[in-house]
Structure 1
C-alpha cells in the first residue's frame, strides 16, 4: 500500500477519509510491528538509545484492537489475523511478569523486561491494563469453534487470570502503579484520578481471580486533588479532572474499549465528561491565549507526545505550542465535526510534513518550525480504534460484552445501557 497524496485525500468524503486514515495508521501495527512477535514497537524510528526490538505493552494492546478493526474491515483476512494474534500470545506467555503484571517495555524477541527509567524496571499495572483491554476484545472477537481461535481465548484467559491486582494495593485502599523485584515499591506511585487509569481500576475490580474491593476504587482512584473539579473553563463546566482537563489521552485510553455512551456512576456521566474535556481542549486552541502559531479551529489537539525538546504531557495548562494529531483525531466520537475539521486542516496546511507512511506523524510545532519524524504506538492506536468506535462501535461492543467486565462495572456501581439491554445511542 502506497502513501496517499494529501491533496487526493482532501477530495474524499468524510467516511472515505476516515477509512483511509485508519488503514494507513494500521500499517504501524502491521508492517511496523516487531518482526518476530508481531507486537507493537514503542516508536518508529526507535530512539538511538533504545533496543530496536523494544515493544510497548500498552501500545501492544492498542495494536491488538487495531488488528481486530483490520480483520473486520477486510484489510487483512481473519485467518491472517488469527495467526498474528497467536504469534503475539506466544511471546506474551513466555515474557517476564511480576505477580502477573507486565513491564512498560519488553524485548519482543525474548520477552525480557526493558527498564523504562530509574526504578521503573518491572511491573506496570497501567500498561498491563491497556494490554488486557485489547486482549479481552480479541477474546470476544475470535469466537469461532476452531482450534486456533479456541487456543487464543484460552491463552488470553490465562494471562488475564494471572494478574494479582489485589496484591498491588499493598493492603491499602489504593492501587500502586509499579513494583520491582530490585527496587520493591520504590516508585511509590499510588494511582489517584482523574486520569487515564479508569480502565486499570475497572479491570482490577473485574478480575475473576484477584479482584480489588470496590472501596479501593472509591477511596483510592476517586480521590486526590485532581479528581473532583466543578469549575468552568471557556464557559464549559468540568465535573472531574485537573484544571482544563489535562492531556486529551485521559478521554481516549480507557475508552478505547470501555464505552462511555450512557456510562455513569456516582461521580460523573462519562460521555458528558469526555465531551466537555474535548470541548475545553479545542476552545483553548481556538482562543490561543499563548499566541502559538497555527492554532485554531482547523489545528487543535493537545496531549502527551513528542515535541521539539523530547517528550511531554502537553495540556492547556502545559502548552508549549505542540499540536498532536492523535489528540483531535482520536476525539472523533466526542466531536466528529470538529475532529474532521482538524484532520482536513492538518492535511491541507501541512501535507506531507504531517502525513507519511504510517499516517499522521506524532506531533508538530509551527511555532518552532518542527515536525516529528516519529510514530508512537500509544498515539497511533487510539486513532484507528476511536475512529472505528465512532463509525461502528466495534471495540466498545466487544469490550462491553466481556462477562467479567460487566460484573466489575456492577460491583463498582456503574450503570450503562450495555448492562440492562437498552439501546446504546
Structure 2
C-alpha cells in the first residue's frame, strides 16, 4: 500500500443535468448562488454527502492525538495530509452544527499538542519528523514514522499545515483555549525549515529519508505543490528566496494547451487542481503567468473539470458506465494489478492505487471512477458536478454510497472472476472499494463548503502567512489587494 501511494504521488508530480457540450472555454462560472438555487432533492443530497464525509474524519481520528488514518474503516497507518483536511473539516462541522465549537476545540488542541510535542530528529524509527517537517505516514498508536522507506514529505507537511493555519485563523475568540490553538499553530508553522528542504534551491525537494537523504525530485510545474511554495514564501522564520515561484512555474509551457476542447494548464489527476484550492481562494487573483494568459487558477481548474467530463463522454477506451454524468479520474484505489483476457481475445489492464487522470500531460485510465474527482471540483463547476454526484449515487446505490458518503472508487468494467486485491466484486455492477481515503474525502467536504459559503477560503484570506506567501509569489488583484 505504501509503495503504491508513493509511486502515484511521484508520477503525479512529474508529469443539475445540463448536457452542456465543452467548447473552447468552459461556460462562465455560476457558482455565486448555485447551492441556494438547487432543487430541494439535490440540495438535500449535497447536505447529506457533506455531513457523512465530515463524519468520516470525526469518527476515524484518534481523539487523544488527533491522528487520522490514511484509509478507514479497517486497520491503517496515519496520514499527516488527512490530519490537515480533518483540522479544517472541524471548523466546517462547527458551522454546520455537526459538532459544537467546544468539541472542535478539544479535538484541535489534542491534534496540535501532538504535533507540537512529537519528537523531531534524524533517527530511523524514533521520530515523527525532522526540521519541522513530518513523515508522510505515522504509526497510529505511537505517532512515529510508520516504516522504513516512508519519507519526510514536504507536500504532505504542507497539507497538514493548511489545516494548522486554518485552525489558527478560525479559532479567533479571546478565550484561553482558542488563544492556545493560535499559539500552537504558530509554533508548528514557524518551526518548518523550508530552506533546509532545498538541496537544489530555489526549488523545494519532495522529501527526505534518514537512509536515502533528499529525494532527487523537486516540486516544479503545475500540480499540488502550489501550496508548498505559498507557505514556504510566507514563512516568517525560514522563508525561501523570491525567485522560487518563478522557478516552480518555469515548466508551465510543457503542459499548457488544449485537451478535450479546453485550453488550460494541464495536470491529469484532478487532485492537483483541488488540494491547494481547497484552502486558497484563487478567484480574481493572478500571478505573472495567469495574468499573461488571461485567466486565474480557479478558472484553469474549472476548465480542467470540464475537460474530464468531455473525456468521459468521448470514452476512447469504451469503459462501462462512462458518460456525461459518470466521470472523474484522480489518484485513488483500484481493484488491483491484473490483466484480464476478454472473450474477443483483447485484454484489459486494471490497477491498484495509482494517479489516474486524463490530460495533455498523460492519460491513465482503467475504468475506475473516483467520486472525489467530481466532488472535490464542485466549487469549480457545480452545474456538471451536482448531476454527476446524483447520478453515481442513484445508478450504483449502496455499492458506492454508505455511512461515510462515497467509497473511494468504483469500476463498472471489472467484470472478471478474479478476486480483487482491494475492495469487493459487486455482482451485476463490477468492483467497488470498501473504504474511504482521507486525502480523497478531504476535498469533498472542504469544497462543498467553499461552494456553499466560502468558509475555508474566507478564513484563509485572513491568515497573514498565506497572504504574504501569495504576495511574494507575485499575486495581485481581487481580495488580496483589499484590507483584511
Give 2:322's match in structure 1, choosing from 291, 295, 301. Answer: 295
Q: Is the 8 A contact 1:97 1:103 kept in 2?
A: yes
Corresponding position of 1:281: 308
Question: What SS does the aligned partner of 1:34 have?
Answer: coil
Q: Pairwise mapping of residues 159-238 of structure 1 onto structure 2 (< 5 A)?
A: 159-170=188-199, 172-185=201-214, 187-219=215-247, 221-224=248-251, 228-238=254-264
- Alpha-carbon spacing, 1:181–1:227, altered in 2? closer, same or farther (3 Å): farther
Partners of 1:11 and 1:376 in 2: how far apart?
30
Corresponding position of 1:356: 402
- Alpha-carbon spacing, 1:326–1:53, altered in 2? closer, same or farther (3 Å): closer
Q: Is the 8 A contact 1:36 1:109 kept in 2?
A: no
- Alpha-carbon spacing, 1:304–1:22, altered in 2? closer, same or farther (3 Å): same
- Per the normalisation by structure 1, the TM-score is 0.90
Structure 1 gap ranges (5+): 1-9, 47-51
Q: Is the 8 A contact 2:60 2:68 kept in 1?
A: yes
Alpha-carbon distance, 1:54 to partner: 1.8
Query: Alpha-carbon deviations, 1:2-51, whole Å to 9, x = none?
Result: xxxxxxxx9953322211110011111111223532332110134xxxxx
Is 1:404 aligned to 2:465, yes or no?
Answer: yes
Give 1:252's match in structure 2, choosing from 264, 274, 284. Answer: 274
Give 2:95's match in structure 1, choosing from 54, 60, 72. Answer: 72
Is 1:100 aligned to 2:132, yes or no?
Answer: yes
- Per the normalisation by structure 2, the TM-score is 0.79
Partners of 1:144 and 1:174 in 2: how far apart?
38
CA RMSD of aligned residues (A): 1.8
Partners of 1:228 and 1:287 in 2: how far apart?
24
Q: Is the 8 A contact 1:36 1:108 kept in 2?
A: no
Partners of 2:183 and 2:211 in 1: how far apart?
32
Aligned length: 399
Larger radius of gyration: 2
Give 1:34's match in structure 2, choosing from 57, 62, 71. Answer: 62
Query: Alpha-carbon deviations, 1:176-203, whole Å to 9, x = none?
Result: 0111223212x21211111111000100
Corresponding position of 2:480: 419
Give 1:137's match in structure 2, choosing from 166, 171, 190. Answer: 166
Alpha-carbon distance, 1:350 to partner: 0.4
Q: Pairwise mapping of residues 73-88 of structure 1 onto structure 2 (< 5 A)?
A: 73-88=96-111
Runs of 4+ in 1 over 6 A off after TM superposition: none
Partners of 1:162 and 1:152 in 2: how far apart?
16
Partners of 2:401 and 2:316 in 1: how far apart?
28
Is 1:25 aligned to 2:53, yes or no?
Answer: yes
Give 1:377's match in structure 2, choosing from 426, 432, 438. Answer: 438
Q: Is the 8 A contact 1:53 1:109 kept in 2?
A: no
Structure 2 gap ranges (5+): 1-37, 119-127, 291-295, 337-351, 415-429
